[in-house]
Structure 1
Amino acid sequence: MAAITLNVEPRGKPIKGLPKECKVSPDASVQEIYSSLATSSGYSVHRLRITKGSDRSLVPNAKGTTVDETGLKDKSIIHVKDLGPQIRWRTVFIIEYLGPLLIPGLFLFPLRPYLYYNFDKPLPEPSDLQLLVCGLLTIHFLKRELETIFIHRFSNATMPARNIVKNSAHYWILAGFNIAYWVFRPDAAAATTKPNMLVRNIGLGLFVFGELANLNTHLVLRDLRKPGTMERGIPSGFGFGLVTCPNYLFEVIAWTGVYLVGGLSWSVLFFIVVGSAQMMSWASKKERRYRKEFGDKYKRKTFVMLPGIY
């Protein structure tokens, strides 16, 4: 099939080295356009976004999509935008979870005398309950890190590097500094030497169940996407008959366990509320995407995250 010529125009700030034309075969993968323009500009393919000049629709960087399938013809105009320095999503998640993974142990031990300097000396040793909460937080975020490295597959390879601070703030501040400081205070409810064992054990049970069920959901979701592709299947299995995103449901259950073990600390509750609001938004978007992507093949869910509630 004869090659066609695409007219290339920058969108936004100029891109040094960007050619005015790009020749490609109609039956070639769209990736070839990205690769050609990335080579010419010296940028990563993940830093470029290409849209059609006719309707501003995205030209996906997809190996399984041909140039002809996008509707691009000879002399079609494509706009190329520089998205700025990028960072891999896997790296983003590792950085996000690293803070709340390390902060509890630091607050409970080496930084304890400095954080709670205004309490009477000598400071009491951390209670068994505070040690237990520290262990639960460490287990939770260590699990998150391991899932990021070994389980998760990402539909988008990168994100703008400038967003890393904003993305990390939620976990570093709310799950790290906020929870650790208040739960580990010498006068916190969790500092008691006589905890309510029933509440503690219920909390532990919820945490263990939530973490294991959440892990199972992530394994199911991983197997829906083949490595190196953007194709997805319809999820099914434990929890998926109840809600669209059981991983979020089980996340809330696990954190409810931390809330009970931690002496009903408002700081943990605050993190649960803020996190749940964000996950509800994500779950709603995923339900709409499933309905659009799979049509009648998909069994629509009444509740996207919390059975009987939302």
Structure 2
Amino acid sequence: MASKITLAVEPRGKPIKKLPKTVTVTLSSNGEELHNAIAEASGASVHRLRITKGSDRSVIPNDKRTTIDDTGLRESSVIHVKDLGPQIAWRTVFIIEYLGPLLIPALFLYPLRPLLYLNFDNIPAPSDTQVLVCALLTLHFLKREYETIFVHRFSSATMPARNIFKNSAHYWALSGFNIAYWVFRPDAGAATAHPNPVLLYAGLALFIFSELANLNAHMVLRDLRRPGTTERGIPHGFGFSWVTCPNYCFEILAWIGVFLVSQLSWSVLVFTLVSGLQMWSWGWKKEKRYRKEFGDKYKKKRTVILPFLC
């Protein structure tokens, strides 16, 4: 029979009603079972709880891979339980994030056009190039929504609900309002009836290739994680031998494609640069995690998102 131990439970931060003073587990119990036991006893949502060791405040993960024995907890050890506050599902967050830039381009290009550009004496109909950019933006975020609903598997079920405003601001403001307003102006580079054909066709080809390659990378990453688990494997496939995160690589290339089609709009470039810096940061964190998690089994990468660059 597995050895049972009793842990002392103390709140950290905001008090949690009905939080038990102790909890009894076995050394072979895992982090998920500990979280579920405290959630059931306190009546709190398991997604709102963060459990840390009282000795060093290291987090006890809510997963099946880490046992109580692995954490070093023993009889009468103290654990701290914190209420993280209202939570929202990651999938819901992604859907809301992408909804803005999915709808804003068409709204700016058509029904809101007369109101947005009142300072122009004459507001011509959108050019074919502006319509094309609108279509590319719409297709990109439709794909994002599809992947959110049918492809992605999330390692964490929820995030703090307040973060949805910060996360959405990037897409709604910088991608939605920023790009749509400037690219669809009557005096924008994309407003011309004679766009540079090299920029137009090169950008369109790059966009199509990158979107398909990005979808393939997401499918590879999805298949690394079994449904209902947080366990991951080492990714292999197209692009993964070049960089740590080919999904980020192809995302950036797709936006460069939009930049070319837009006839080099600075607003698209700004969004691409800001997003690229953020993805570079995420990419290095993922590279470090792969090296730590898989050790010698993992082939280290020198660049994380763009071959030979970063």
* TM-score calculated relative to the size of structure 2: 0.97
Matched, 1:8 2:6: no
Trace 1:161-240 onto structure 2 (pairs within 5 A): 161-240=161-240
* Deviation (angstroms), 1:101: 0.3
Q: Per the alignment, in what secondary structure is the counterpart of residue 41 of structure 2? A: helix
Q: Per the alignment, in what secondary structure is the counterpart of residue 74 of structure 1? A: coil
* Deviation (angstroms), 1:3: 2.9
Q: Distance in 2 between matches of 1:153 and 1:206?
A: 27
* Deviation (angstroms), 1:12: 1.2
* Percent identity between the two aligned chains: 70
Partner of residue 110, structure 2: 109
Trace 1:80-159 onto structure 2 (pairs within 5 A): 80-121=81-122, 123-159=123-159
* Deviation (angstroms), 1:34: 1.2
Deviates more, 1:278-287 or 1:61-70: 61-70
Q: Per the alignment, in what secondary structure is the counterpart of residue 170 of structure 1? A: helix
* Deviation (angstroms), 1:26: 2.5
Partner of residue 68, structure 1: 69
Q: Per the alignment, in what secondary structure is the counterpart of residue 118 of structure 2? A: coil
User: 1:286 corresponds to which letter in structure 2?
Assistant: K
1:6-33 CA deviation, whole Å, 9 max, x = no partner?
A: 1000011211111111122322333222
Q: Per the alignment, in what secondary structure is the counterpart of residue 23 of structure 1? A: strand
Partner of residue 282, structure 1: 282
Q: Distance in 1 between matches of 2:246 and 2:62?
A: 30
User: 1:233 corresponds to which letter in structure 2?
Assistant: G
Q: Distance in 2 between matches of 1:23 and 1:171?
A: 46
Give the direction of change, closer, same or farther, for the CA distance of 1:239–1:2 in structure 2 (3 Å limit): closer
User: 2:196 corresponds to which letter in structure 1?
Assistant: N
Q: Distance in 1 between matches of 2:102 and 2:150?
A: 17
Q: Per the alignment, in what secondary structure is the counterpart of residue 273 of structure 1? A: helix
Q: Distance in 1 between matches of 2:65 and 2:305?
A: 32
User: 2:38 corresponds to which letter in structure 1?
Assistant: L
* Deviation (angstroms), 1:56: 1.1
Q: Distance in 2 between matches of 1:285 and 1:28?
A: 29
Deviates more, 1:97-106 or 1:19-28: 19-28
1:206-242 CA deviation, whole Å, 9 max, x = no partner?
A: 0001100000000011111111212111111111111
Q: Distance in 2 between matches of 1:181 and 1:289?
A: 39
* Deviation (angstroms), 1:301: 0.9
Q: Distance in 2 between matches of 1:20 and 1:288?
A: 38
In angstroms, what is the RMSD of aligned CA positions? 1.1
* Deviation (angstroms), 1:274: 0.5
Q: Distance in 2 between matches of 1:285 and 1:66?
A: 25
Matched, 1:52 2:53: yes
Deviates more, 1:166-175 or 1:39-48: 39-48
Runs (4+) of structure 1 moved beyond 4 Å? none
Partner of residue 79, structure 1: 80
Q: Per the alignment, in what secondary structure is the counterpart of residue 305 of structure 1? A: coil
Q: Distance in 1 between matches of 2:46 and 2:61?
A: 11
User: 1:29 corresponds to which letter in structure 2?
Assistant: N
Q: Distance in 1 between matches of 2:9 and 2:109?
A: 57
Q: Per the alignment, in what secondary structure is the counterpart of residue 162 of structure 2? A: helix
Q: Distance in 1 between matches of 2:30 and 2:164?
A: 31
Q: Distance in 1 between matches of 2:255 and 2:280?
A: 15
Partner of residue 297, structure 1: 297
Q: Per the alignment, in what secondary structure is the counterpart of residue 81 of structure 2? A: strand
Q: Per the alignment, in what secondary structure is the counterpart of residue 9 of structure 1? A: strand
* Deviation (angstroms), 1:2: 4.6
* Deviation (angstroms), 1:170: 0.6
Deviates more, 1:225-234 or 1:171-180: 225-234
User: 1:58 corresponds to which letter in structure 2?
Assistant: V
Q: Per the alignment, in what secondary structure is the counterpart of residue 6 of structure 1? A: strand
* Deviation (angstroms), 1:153: 0.9
Q: Distance in 1 between matches of 2:281 and 2:231?
A: 23
* Deviation (angstroms), 1:198: 2.3
Q: Distance in 2 between matches of 1:190 and 1:175?
A: 17
Deviates more, 1:56-65 or 1:42-51: 56-65
1:93-117 CA deviation, whole Å, 9 max, x = no partner?
A: 1111010000001101111111111
